[in-house]
C-alpha cells in the first residue's frame, strides 16, 4: 500500500508550540527595525536557517517562478541576495526587475513578505560579498553555468573539483557573472500567527515621505 497523502495531511498540525504575541501598535515607523528584531528572535528561538527566503520572479511573458535563496543583508538600500546574472532568475530580473520575497519562521508562527523593484549592486560590491563568504560558496560561483542543461553528474563532479581547487588556492578569484541584487520594497507585511486563528497582519506601504501602516484581516 502506498502512502495516503490526504490522510497524512489531515494528521499534521501547525504551530504546535507556544507562539509569541505581537502588538502592532508598538511597531516602529519603518519596517527594517521590525525585520531585524523578528530575525534576531527567530535565531534565538532556534529556527533552522532563518536567513533562507523564497524569491519570486517572472519571465518576459509574465509567467511566475519561485525558489529558495539566502539573504545576504538588509539595510536602507534594500534586502540583498545574489546569483549569476546568466541564471534563470538573473535573466528574469533583467527582463522584469521586480520581485517578491517571503520569510517563514514556523517556530514562532511568523511570516514576512516583501515586494518591490530590484536593482543590481555595483560589480565590486558583488565580488566583495562573494569573497566574504565560505570557500564552498566561492567554489560554487566559480563553477557557474547555473540553470544550463547538465550532461551528466560526472561532468558536474569534474567542474566542481576544479572550482574547489581554485577557490582554495585563489580565495580572491573573480566570478564575473556573480551578481548582488537588492530588492527595494514598496510593501512589507508582518504576519504573526495565533492559535485561535486571530492572526495579526501589519503591512507597511511606502509613501512619498516615510511609510504608511495598516492592519489587514487574516
Tell me which of 47-56, 92-101, 133-142, 181-190 is least confident: 133-142
Q: Return the C-alpha cell found at 70.
A: 539566502
Determine contact, residues 214/203, Cβ cutoff 8 Å: yes
Report the alpha-carbon distance of residue 159 to residue 211 in Å, rounded: 47
- Whether 11 shows a pLDDT value over 90: the answer reads yes
Burial readout 165-188 (b: 16 or more C-beta within 10 A, e: otherwise) = eebeeeeebebebbbbbbbebebb
Question: 170 pLDDT band (50/70/90 cuts)?
Answer: very high
- Whether 17 shows a pLDDT value over 90: the answer reads no
- Whether 1 shows a pLDDT value over 70: the answer reads no
Q: Return the C-alpha cell found at 35.
A: 525585520
Give the predicted TM-score (pTM) of the model: 0.93
Question: 2 pLDDT band (50/70/90 cuts)?
Answer: confident
**Average pLDDT of the residues in 19-34:** 97
Tell which residue, 118, 111, 147, 123, has the closest CA to residue 58: 118
Q: Return the C-alpha cell found at 71.
A: 539573504
Report the alpha-carbon distance of residue 29 to residue 76 in Å, rounded: 14
Query: In this predicted structure, what is the pLDDT of residue 198?
Result: 94
**Average pLDDT of the residues in 173-196:** 96
**Average pLDDT of the residues in 104-108:** 96
Determine contact, residues 188/204, Cβ cutoff 8 Å: yes
Amino acid at each position: 500500500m502506498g502512502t495516503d497523502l490526504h490522510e497524512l495531511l489531515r494528521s499534521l498540525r501547525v504551530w504546535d508550540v507556544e507562539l509569541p504575541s505581537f502588538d502592532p501598535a508598538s511597531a516602529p515607523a519603518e519596517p527594517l527595525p521590525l525585520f531585524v528584531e523578528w530575525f534576531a528572535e527567530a535565531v534565538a528561538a532556534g529556527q533552522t536557517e532563518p536567513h533562507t527566503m523564497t524569491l519570486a520572479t517572472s519571465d518576459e511573458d509574465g509567467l511566475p517562478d519561485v525558489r529558495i535563496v539566502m539573504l545576504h543583508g538588509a539595510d536602507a538600500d534594500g534586502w540583498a541576495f545574489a546569483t549569476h546574472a546568466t541564471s534563470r532568475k538573473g535573466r528574469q530580473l533583467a527582463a522584469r526587475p521586480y520581485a517578491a520575497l517571503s520569510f517563514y519562521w514556523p517556530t514562532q508562527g511568523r511570516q514576512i513578505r516583501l515586494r518591490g523593484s530590484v536593482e543590481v549592486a555595483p560589480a565590486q560590491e558583488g565580488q566583495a560579498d562573494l569573497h566574504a563568504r565560505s570557500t564552498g560558496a566561492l567554489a560554487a560561483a566559480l563553477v557557474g553555468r547555473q540553470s544550463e542543461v547538465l550532461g551528466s553528474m560526472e561532468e558536474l563532479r569534474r567542474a566542481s573539483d576544479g572550482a574547489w581547487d581554485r577557490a582554495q588556492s585563489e580565495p580572491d578569484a573573480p566570478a564575473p557573472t556573480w551578481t548582488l541584487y537588492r530588492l527595494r520594497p514598496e510593501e512589507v507585511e508582518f504576519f504573526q500567527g495565533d492559535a485561535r486563528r486571530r492572526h495579526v497582519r501589519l503591512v507597511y506601504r511606502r509613501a512619498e515621505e516615510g511609510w504608511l501602516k495598516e492592519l489587514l484581516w487574516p
